[in-house]
Structure 1
Amino acid sequence: MNLGHSYTLIAPFYDAALMAATRAQRARSLAALPRSPARVLLTGVGTGLDLPLLPQQHRYTGIDLTHAMLQRALPRAARLDFHCVQGDAERLPFPDHSFDQVVLHLILAVLPDPAACLRETARVLAPGGGVLIFDKFLAPGQVAPLRRLLNPLVRRVATRLDVVFEEVLATTPQLVLQSDQPALAGGWFRLIRLQRI
C-alpha cells in the first residue's frame, strides 16, 4: 500500500488520533512564526490541525498528497488567507524562493525520503527564511531495537520510526540549526527550528 492510499484510508480517524495529543506542541512550534506578514508553506498540511493555531497576518499555502486530507483541512482555514495544493512534498510544485517560512509538522518521518523533502524545502525557501519542524526522530547512534523492529511494518501504513534528523539535515547544507528542543515521549518528538542561509 502506498502513502497516498494509506492516508486516504486513515483521514477520517487522523484527527481523533492526533488532535489532543499534539495540539500544545503544535502551538509551541507555530509561536515562532514571525509577526510581520510572510508567505508560509504548510508541507503535509493533512487535515489542517495546525490551521486554527495560525496567526491571520500571513499568506498560507498548504500542500498534501491526498485529496481526502485537503478536503478535511479546508473548513479549518476559513479565517485565513489560505490556498491548498495537492502534491508531493518530495517534489514541491513551487518555484525557488517562493516562501519565507515552511512548517513541517509530522511529515518528515512519514515520507519515504525525508532528505528529499528537506532539500525541496530549502529550494523553495527564501534566503533568511525559517523552517519549523515538529516530529519524531531517533537520536544519532540510538539503537531503539523495538522501533527498528516495528519500522518495516509501520512505515507501510502510516509513519517511519527510524528517521535520524541529523542524517537528514546533513544532506541540506543550506539549512542551519537554530533550535532543537524535546517535545513529547521523553524527547522522541522534537521541536526544531532551521534557517536558510
Structure 2
Amino acid sequence: MNHETNRQIYRRWAPFYDWIMQNRWFGSARQSIVKRARLQPNEHLLLVGVGTGLDFAYIPEGVRVTGIDLSSEMLEQARKKVHHSTIRLQQMNAEALTFPDETFDAVFFNLVLSVTENPRQALTEGIRVLKGSGRILIFDKFRPSNKSLSRFSQMLNKITRKLGTDVNRSFETIARDLPIHVVGNEPSLFGGRYRIIELRKGI
C-alpha cells in the first residue's frame, strides 16, 4: 500500500463507508477507546485518520477535536457530522503531521495503523505531537506477535491490501524501541484479532 493507492481506495469507499463500519461492534470499541482516554473539557484530542467522523458521536462535550485524514472524500463525509465549533478537520498525511511538538493531550489511532503506508512513522509522529502527560489510544487489528504467518493469512492479506488494509501487521514490530510504554493492551473484536492499546510517553 502507498499513499496514492490509499487515496484512490478511500475515494471509492467514502460514499458507503458508514454503511459498513457504523455498527454496534465497532461503535462499542470506539466507546471503549473514549472511556479509557478519560477526556476532560478543554483538552485537545487528535483523531489520526478521522475518516468519515464516526468517533465524533462518542467524544465528550467541551473537548477540542482536530481530525486529519489523507482522503479529501472521507473528510467531506466527516464534515457532515460536525455540529460543534470545537471540531476542526484538515487534510494531512499521518506520517508527516504539521503540528508543533507536544500539541495534544490525547491522540487516537482508530483503524489507522493497518492502512497507512508506514505505520511506524505515523506512530512516531503521534508520539511527537503528544504532550508529556498525554495518552495514545489505538484500536486496530494486529496479528499475534507469538505466531508465524500462515499460508492462509498471507493469501488473505493479498486480497485485503487491495481493499486498503493489512491484516498481518504486528503492533510489537511497529512500536519496537519507540519512546513509549504500554499501559493497557486488551482484546477487542473477532476473538482478539482487534485490540485496544493505551500508550504513554517514556520507556
- TM-score over 0.5 for the pair: yes
Q: Does the alignment pair 1:123 with 2:128?
A: yes
> Within 5 Å, which residues of 2 pair with 1:93-112?
93-112=98-117
Residue 171 of structure 1 and its aligned partner are, at CA, apart by 4.1
Helix, strand or coil at the partner of 2:173 = helix
Task: Indicate the residue corresponding to 2:27 in structure 1.
Answer: 23
Task: Indicate the residue corresponding to 1:177 in structure 2.
Answer: 182
Partner Cα separation in structure 1 for residue 43 and residue 201 of structure 2:
15
Letter of the 1:111 partner, please give it. T
| C-alpha contact 2:141 2:194 (8 A) present in aligned 1 | yes
Task: Indicate the residue corresponding to 1:164 in structure 2.
Answer: 170
> Within 5 Å, which residues of 2 pair with 1:31-46?
31-33=35-37, 34-46=39-51
Q: Does the alignment pair 1:7 with 2:10?
A: yes
Which residue among 115, 118, 142 is the counterpart of 1:113?
A: 118
Q: Does the alignment pair 1:83 with 2:88?
A: yes
Helix, strand or coil at the partner of 2:147 = coil
* Deviation string, structure 1 residues 7-42 (Cα, Å, up to 9, x no partner): 111111211111104001110111123334311100
Provide runs of 4+ in structure 1 moved above 4 Å.
none
Residue 80 of structure 1 and its aligned partner are, at CA, apart by 5.4
Partner Cα separation in structure 1 for residue 162 and residue 92 of structure 2:
19
* Deviation string, structure 1 residues 96-155 (Cα, Å, up to 9, x no partner): 111110010000011121101110111111112100110000111323422222223322
| C-alpha contact 1:151 1:160 (8 A) present in aligned 2 | yes
Identity of aligned residues (%): 33
| C-alpha contact 1:56 1:80 (8 A) present in aligned 2 | no
Helix, strand or coil at the partner of 2:134 = strand
Task: Indicate the residue corresponding to 1:142 in structure 2.
Answer: 147
Residue 74 of structure 1 and its aligned partner are, at CA, apart by 1.3
Letter of the 1:161 partner, please give it. V
Helix, strand or coil at the partner of 1:94 = coil
Q: Does the alignment pair 1:196 with 2:196?
A: no
Partner Cα separation in structure 2 for residue 62 and residue 44 of structure 1:
7
Helix, strand or coil at the partner of 2:188 = strand
The two structures, once aligned, show a CA RMSD in angstroms of 1.4
Q: Cα 1:159–1:171, aligned 2, differ >3 Å: closer, same or farther?
A: farther
| C-alpha contact 2:41 2:61 (8 A) present in aligned 1 | no
Q: TM-score, normalised by structure 1?
A: 0.94
Q: Cα 1:187–1:80, aligned 2, differ >3 Å: closer, same or farther?
A: farther
* Count of residues paired in the alignment: 196
Partner Cα separation in structure 2 for residue 147 and residue 112 of structure 1:
19
Task: Indicate the residue corresponding to 1:63 in structure 2.
Answer: 68
| C-alpha contact 1:137 1:189 (8 A) present in aligned 2 | yes
